[in-house]
Amino acid sequence: MTDLTQAKANPDTTRGVIPYLDMGGRALEAAAFYEKALGAKIIGHVPGQSAGRVAHCQIEINGGTMMMTDYAATPPQREGMHLQIVVSDAEARWNRAVEAGCEIVMPFEKQFWGDRWGLMRDPFDIQWAFNEA
């Protein structure tokens, strides 16, 4: 994995609102999982001051950036939020994430508003919604 102290952020993927999640000691594990489950591209990381910890990790998913850190001593509880991916091939991406180990919260199916949508939770307690308009 690239050390970000030597890398430059891609300005095309760092616009708008960027999720920055505390992974409580599991940032590199999460990055590898997201590469497998969500097709993420790992940009790199900045090692933390403690062994095995990460000060900053950056990945790209579906053309956008997500950043992570290992600031907390343990992974924080996640409530009241999810990250959403809106794509034309949502079912294929959904199946890939489920096969990689995500737990289905709400099945991927046609919703009352007309889109196909589903909600899942990854092994890091982050919920992801897939929306196919």
Q: What is the DSSP string of the chain?
A: --BGGG----TTTS-S---EEE-TT-HHHHHHHHHHHH--EEEEEEE-SSTT-EEEEEEEETTEEEEEE--SSSPPP--S--EEEE-TTHHHHHHHHHHHTPEEEEEEEE-TTSSEEEEEE-TTS-EEEEEE-
> For residue 74, is it within any domain?
no
The last residue of a domain, from among 16, 38, 69: 69
Instruction: Give the domain extent around 65.
Output: 7-69
Evaluate if residue 9 carries a pLDDT over 80: no
**Same domain membership, residue 65 and residue 11:** yes
Evaluate if residue 6 carries a pLDDT over 80: no
Among the ranges given (14-18, 34-38, 108-112, 128-132), the one the predictor scored with the smallest mean pLDDT: 14-18
**Same domain membership, residue 46 and residue 93:** no
CATH number of the domain bearing residue 39:
3.30.720.120
Over residues 30-79, the pLDDT tens digits come to 999 999 999 999 999 999 998 889 999 999 999 999 999 999 888 888 88
pLDDT at 106: 98
> For residue 78, is it within any domain?
no
**Same domain membership, residue 95 and residue 65:** no
- How many structural domains are present in the chain? 2
**Same domain membership, residue 95 and residue 50:** no
Over residues 84-121, the pLDDT tens digits come to 999 999 999 999 999 999 999 999 999 999 999 999 99
Evaluate if residue 3 carries a pLDDT over 70: no
pTM for the whole thing? Answer: 0.89
Q: State how beta strands 127-132 and 83-86 pair.
A: parallel
> For residue 75, is it within any domain?
no
Asked if residue 126 lies in contact with residue 83, where contact means CB atoms within 8 angstroms, the answer is: yes
